[in-house]
């Protein structure tokens, strides 16, 4: 009998598999196909203070081993999420969830964090720092160590729940940003968000995406994500949720060996809506194959 339990900031997960924000909505579509209570946790659709439509369509482009999206944080807004989506989610999923929040100013992050702090079902607040900072000249909070630390401090000041910062890979040195967030009080880190990418349509000879560029996810990014988790694990003491192209139980184990305490599954859910279920069901077989008796013991094992 293998042990798949892992612990994130004092919260015990029955397994490390967590659907990533933006690829799982609020769970309802997937609950039609399987009991989503088997999931270790669930990171719901990135929420902003105001309702957002996001970017113009087309906002999906396909690649050989993944996809690019420029959805642009479409969500019904903080009030609707708290009043409608989370109560619905609570009927489908009984374990603590991860609240993914975004903002275009420090104040917006704080407002979202305060609201999520009041939600009983929220176990962890996951802060997406990849959005443009409207007060900082439009540059993303997550590409500047100072700005990322500032968001971390502001959210920590209003949160008793553990705060995880979701880092952007579109930076020169992800370790320095990870360290800045840790110094600012982050309880954990989620990495990586999508990689900036694009495709051009040969028929129209123009970018496929209306927004021209978007974020690449899927198996194409897995080795990059793994490398970043490995590097950040060496530098920080706080737990890491690893993500980026994870599509199989083997990938989960590889990510944990690099240093992840838990793993998020993103694009795989969109290609195969039962991906998380299949990965969870396959975990014990793969663990036995590689003679792993307890997943929590392999975290960072590759170092």
Partner 1 sequence: MKKEIFTIVSNRKLTDSVFKMTLCGDTSAITAPGQFVNIELEGLYLRRPISVCDLEGERLTLIYKAVGKGTEQMSAMGKGEALDILTGLGNGYDTANSGACPVLIGGGVGVPPLYLLAKKLIGEGKNPKVILGFNTALEVFYEDEFCALGIETFVTTVDGSHGIKGFVTDALKSCGEYSYTFSCGPEPMLKAVYNESLTDGQFSFEERMGCGFGACMGCSCKTKYGYKRICKDGPVLEKGEIIW
In angstroms, give the least distance from the CB of 162 to partner 1.
26
Contact between 87 and 33 under an 8 Å Cβ cutoff? The reply is no
Task: Candidates 41, 47, 48, 69: give the one binding partner 1 (CB under 8 A).
Answer: 69
Q: What whole-number distance in Å separates Cα of residue 151 and Cα of residue 142?
A: 9
Task: Candidates 9, 65, 105, 284: give the one binding partner 1 (CB under 8 A).
Answer: 65
25 contacts partner 1 (rule: CB under 8 A): yes
Task: Candidates 67, 178, 228, 249: give the one binding partner 1 (CB under 8 A).
Answer: 67
Contact between 243 and 190 under an 8 Å Cβ cutoff? The reply is yes
Residues 167-196 that bind partner 1 (CB under 8 A): none
In angstroms, give the least distance from the CB of 250 to partner 1.
19
Contact between 280 and 269 under an 8 Å Cβ cutoff? The reply is no
Choose among 40, 42, 39, 50: nearest CA to 23: 42
- Cβ proximity to partner 1: between 188 and 215 the closer is 215
Can you list the alpha helix ranges (DSSP code H) found in the chain? 28-31, 78-80, 86-92, 106-117, 145-157, 174-183, 222-235, 249-258, 267-271, 275-289
In angstroms, give the least distance from the CB of 201 to partner 1.
10
Q: Residue 256, CB half-sphere, CA atoms under 13 Å: how many?
A: 27
With CB under 8 A as the rule, give the number of residues binding partner 1: 35
In angstroms, give the least distance from the CB of 44 to partner 1.
11
213 contacts partner 1 (rule: CB under 8 A): no
Does the annotation mark 112 as catalytic?
no
Give the angle subtended at the CA of 198 by the CAs of 194 and 200, to the nearest 5°.
Answer: 160
- Which are the catalytic amino acids? 131
Q: Point out which residues bind partner 1 (CB under 8 A).
A: 22-25, 28-30, 32-33, 45, 53-54, 57-67, 69, 71, 74, 208, 218, 267, 269-274
């Amino acid at each position: 009998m293998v042990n798949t339990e892992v612990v994130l900031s004092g919260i015990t997960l029955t397994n490390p598999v967590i659907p990533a924000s933006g690829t799982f909505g609020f769970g309802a579509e997937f609950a039609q196909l399987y009991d989503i209570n088997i999931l270790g946790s669930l990171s719901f659709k990135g929420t902003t203070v105001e309702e957002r439509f996001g970017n113009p369509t087309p906002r999906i482009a396909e690649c050989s081993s993944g996809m690019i999206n420029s959805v642009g944080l479409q969500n019904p807004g903080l009030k609707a999420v708290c009043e409608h989506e989370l109560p619905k989610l609570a009927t489908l999923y009984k374990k603590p969830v991860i609240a993914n929040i975004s903002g275009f100013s420090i104040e917006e992050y704080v407002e979202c964090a305060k609201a999520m702090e009041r939600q009983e079902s929220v176990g962890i607040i996951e802060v997406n720092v990849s959005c443009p900072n409207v007060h900082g000249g439009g540059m993303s909070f997550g590409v500047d160590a100072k700005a990322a630390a500032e968001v971390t401090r502001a959210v920590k000041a209003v949160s008793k729940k553990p705060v995880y910062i979701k880092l952007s890979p579109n930076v020169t040195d992800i370790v320095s940003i990870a360290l800045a967030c840790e110094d600012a009080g982050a309880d954990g880190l989620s990495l990586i968000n999508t990689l900036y990418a694009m495709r051009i349509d040969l028929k129209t000879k123009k970018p496929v995406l209306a927004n021209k560029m978007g974020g690449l996810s899927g198996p194409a990014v897995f080795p990059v994500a793994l490398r970043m988790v490995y590097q950040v694990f060496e530098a920080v003491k706080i737990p890491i949720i690893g993500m980026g192209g994870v599509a199989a139980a083997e990938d989960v184990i590889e990510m944990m060996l690099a240093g992840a305490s838990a793993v998020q599954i993103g694009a795989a859910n969109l290609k195969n809506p039962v991906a998380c279920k299949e990965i969870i069901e396959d975990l014990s077989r793969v663990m036995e194959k590689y003679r792993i008796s307890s997943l929590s013991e392999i975290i960072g094992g590759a170092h």
